[in-house]
Amino acid sequence: MLLASLGKLRAQATVGYYPWSNLLTVSTNAKNVIWLDTRLQTNSLFSSLSIDLLPMINLKRGEVVQWYIGGGLRLNPLYRIADADADLITIDGYSMNVGVRIAPLPVNRRIMLALELNPYVKDKFDSGVLKTHFGIVYAFGKKKKTGTAPEQPVSP
């Protein structure tokens, strides 16, 4: 049962990378009205590795362009490496997202460019930063059947 569920998740998930932000992202099926995006910082100290949990809502979705908004929180499960008195899972801050995914290649709409505006505030709301993200996303899924219909016998 677990293996069947994993296969279904893989068939609907998206994976992306934002190279200038050093973010690796894995999402649930972004074709749904509501979907979940999780992000992991890369290229950072272990105590600074954080995970963003971002529920997203599609505003408009077409074959080429997908507009979405969302928000969520940034967790840091490894912060205890730097501070032994820290909470088991530290909340670093909160963010909002406004983004667009564009599938520019007509031969493969699974490859998308992603551009986001991402205001972020620290957990105590004492500081924040306006971030932007630009990256590439790949959507897994079943291949569309493009075969022709079987030939029908000709009646005499």
pLDDT tens digits, 66-112: 999 999 998 887 766 666 666 666 788 899 999 999 999 999 999 99
Mean pLDDT of all residues in 5-20: 72
- Say how many domains are in the chain: 1
What number of other Cβ atoms are within 10 A of residue 94's Cβ? 17
In a domain, 142, yes or no: no
At 126, which amino acid appears? D
Quickly list DSSP for 61-94: E-SSEEEEEEEEEEEETTGGGT-TTS-SSEEEEE
In a domain, 153, yes or no: no
In a domain, 50, yes or no: yes
Instruction: State the pLDDT at residue 9.
Output: 45
Q: Percentage of the chain with pLDDT > 90?
A: 49
In a domain, 150, yes or no: no
Considering only CA atoms, which of 79, 65, 60, 72 is closest in space to residue 25?
A: 72
Instruction: State the pLDDT at residue 59.
Output: 96
Instruction: State the pLDDT at residue 1.
Output: 35
pTM: 0.77
Question: Is 24 within 8 Å of 38 (Cβ atoms)?
Answer: no
Q: Residue 29: is its pLDDT beyond 70?
A: yes
In a domain, 146, yes or no: no
In a domain, 116, yes or no: yes
In a domain, 141, yes or no: no
In a domain, 29, yes or no: yes
Range of the domain at 35: 13-132
